[in-house]
Structure 1
Amino acid sequence: MSCRTDLTDAQWHALSPYLPANPKRGHPFADHRRVINGILWRIKLGTPWRDIPERYGPWRTCHDRLARWERDDTWLRIVQALQGVTDTQGHINWEGASIDSTHLRAHRSAVGARKQSPQHDPRVVILEEWLGHSRGGRTTKLHLCADGNARPLSIVLSAGQRADGPFLIPVLEAIRVPRPGKGRPRSRPPVIRVDRAYGARVYRRLVHARGIRFVCPEREDARRHRIKKGAHGGCPPAFDANAYKGKNVVKRAVNRLKDFRAIATRYEKRGRNFMAVILVACLVLWL
């Protein structure tokens, strides 16, 4: 019996060509569709991993698949492959791209991951857990770029207390939509819509240097400073109010991601596992 969180037949046929084949050595993968449906059931409902129904197989298999495919970037490659197919069909609205961030409240079970120190073992890499303090308590901040159809083009995570501006360029650099055949992936939308949090002059220069049109209202403090300097304050930055109306697409993309309860509230201790949860949700949105 199928569940409403399971992949449909059409989604499965679109996804299956990009899933890894069985390894030449060792045990073969458990059924991909069953395991992915188990992962989707868990992140959609936000339940503990141990509560995954038996029809999806052992819960440890679902959890291990999620973590293993994040470590070798399998989830990211699948999302980018689906983006490339959509772009080849001409269904990515690059002209409507927008960037923003949102806070994700961390559950108490997400706190307390054991820290790894290179002093004991130089081979250990310190993992970023992306947990910080903000007005809402322990939070993770999700920075994303969405296309004009409210689908995420790139995702970057940070601690909840971090400012938005420093992550503008990392979000742009994380866009890697493959092209058919050989060649570099597409990474630059022609226009970006952002709010005043990104309106500092340094961010405007960095975006313009990449040949991207920057649609952002002027910051109030920058406006007062410019007026105070009088004729030496220069002209106000160009701002297209009509183009800025399309910024709501990134808010809609955030709402679609937060429909997955394991994203609206972070339950994962490890930051990389939480990133995998977000990538699986992005995969469904692109399907």
Structure 2
Amino acid sequence: MVRRHELTDAQWQMIEPLLPANGKPGGQWADHRTVVNGVLFRARTGVPWPDLPERFGPWQTVYERHRRWSADGTWQQILAELQIEADASDPDGHLAKALEEEAREWAVNIDSTSCRAHQHAAGARRRPPRDFPLKGAVRVWRPGREALGRSRGGLTSKVHLLSDDCARPLTWQTSPGQRGDSPMFVAVLEGLRIRRSGPGRPRSRPDRVRGDKAYSSRGNRAYLRRRGIKATIAQPDDQLAKRRRKGRAGGRPPAFDKAQYRRRSAVERCVSKWKQFRAVATRYDKRDYIFNGTLTAAAIVIWLRDTVQEPSETP
């Protein structure tokens, strides 16, 4: 029987081949499914690791597996494979399902969200853990930079993300809570890499980017023009007023499609899905790479729910 916040049989069959081989010289790992369910239970409920239910086994095993997979990129690899599968299964070759028959472009939506950090998330040591980085690690150790900062809401982390039109997270970057949105625009887009199931370079250049007023800047728009990407970014009132004051010298206003801008709500829905996981809405992890692992585990569940078709029960 599948309990709350655990993977179904169909979902487990989807990710089981993507997990590391069970067993190492001199010993065997605990059952992967039990450990993964423990990680997802903690991400969904936000309980402290020692308070995990006994059915998941020793909490130290679950935590250590989550920490290790966050460091060596196992969670990120699973998410990448799910995105490849979704890209290959789309007959039009786009990640986003077309909202209308005439919509044939790959559009992404950018936004950020603040995650309040619990007091237990502070106080990480400035030196790296004894076994960091692991072999093949994707996280680079940066002393004193754990994506924690102080904003008006207190100690916070900010997640800058891209989502597709199905409200699924594609890629993201973490930063301290006081970090602005516009300076992270290029970094987030540069991190977009959707590998293909066959030969070919990863998909990294969407047809359109939608964003709110926080991303309206001359530099961001110039970056999109250089890459041939359409921009649907609202202009703040001060930029509109400045252009009017200049008259003809202000030039033409940038193109803005209101119908396209309405579809930017997909990234808001993506954030809402993500923050159903309490360990995402409130950061409890001291290390940035472990917090990114928690974000990735939650993103995997979002993709599985949208990708895996559960068998219908016969009456």
TM-score, structure 2 length as denominator? Answer: 0.86
Structure 2 residue matching 1:148: 3-state secondary structure: coil
Find runs of 4+ consecutive structure 1 residues off by over 3 angstroms: none
One-letter code aligned to 1:129:
E
Provide the residue aligned with 2:118 in structure 1.
107
One-letter code aligned to 1:33:
R
Deviation at 1:28, TM superposition (A): 2.7
- Rounded Cα–Cα distance in structure 1 between residues aligned with 2:85 and 2:7: 19
- Rounded Cα–Cα distance in structure 1 between residues aligned with 2:199 and 2:64: 33
Asked whether 1:170 is paired with 2:160, we answer no
Provide the residue aligned with 2:135 in structure 1.
none
One-letter code aligned to 2:3:
C
Please, which moves more after superposition, 141-150 or 164-173? 164-173
Provide the residue aligned with 2:244 in structure 1.
227
Provide the residue aligned with 1:281 in structure 2.
298
Provide the residue aligned with 2:281 in structure 1.
264
Asked whether 1:132 is paired with 2:149, we answer yes
One-letter code aligned to 2:108:
A
The residue correspondences of 1:1-287 to structure 2 (distance < 5 A) are 2-22=2-22, 25-90=25-90, 92-93=95-96, 95-116=106-127, 125-127=141-143, 128-287=145-304
Deviation at 1:182, TM superposition (A): 2.5
Deviation at 1:192, TM superposition (A): 0.9
Please, which moves more after superposition, 22-31 or 81-90? 22-31
- Rounded Cα–Cα distance in structure 1 between residues aligned with 2:301 and 2:26: 29
Count of aligned residue pairs for this structure pair: 281
- Rounded Cα–Cα distance in structure 2 between residues aligned with 1:146 and 1:85: 17
Structure 1 residue matching 2:264: 3-state secondary structure: helix
1:232-257 C-alpha deviation (Å, 9 max, x unpaired): 11111110111100000000000000
- Rounded Cα–Cα distance in structure 2 between residues aligned with 1:68 and 1:184: 29
One-letter code aligned to 2:230:
R
Unaligned runs of 5+ in 2: 97-104, 129-139, 305-315
- Rounded Cα–Cα distance in structure 2 between residues aligned with 1:125 and 1:144: 22
One-letter code aligned to 1:114:
R
Deviation at 1:116, TM superposition (A): 2.5
Structure 2 residue matching 1:97: 3-state secondary structure: strand
1:69-121 C-alpha deviation (Å, 9 max, x unpaired): 1111111111011000001001721634210001100111111112229xxxx
One-letter code aligned to 1:222:
Q
Provide the residue aligned with 1:121 in structure 2.
none
- Rounded Cα–Cα distance in structure 2 between residues aligned with 1:167 and 1:21: 37
One-letter code aligned to 1:196:
K
Please, which moves more after superposition, 83-92 or 244-253? 83-92
Structure 1 residue matching 2:4: 3-state secondary structure: coil
One-letter code aligned to 1:58:
P
Aligned-residue CA RMSD in angstroms? 1.6
- Rounded Cα–Cα distance in structure 2 between residues aligned with 1:9 and 1:210: 42
**Cα distance, 1:12–1:219 mapped onto 2, change above 3 Å:** same
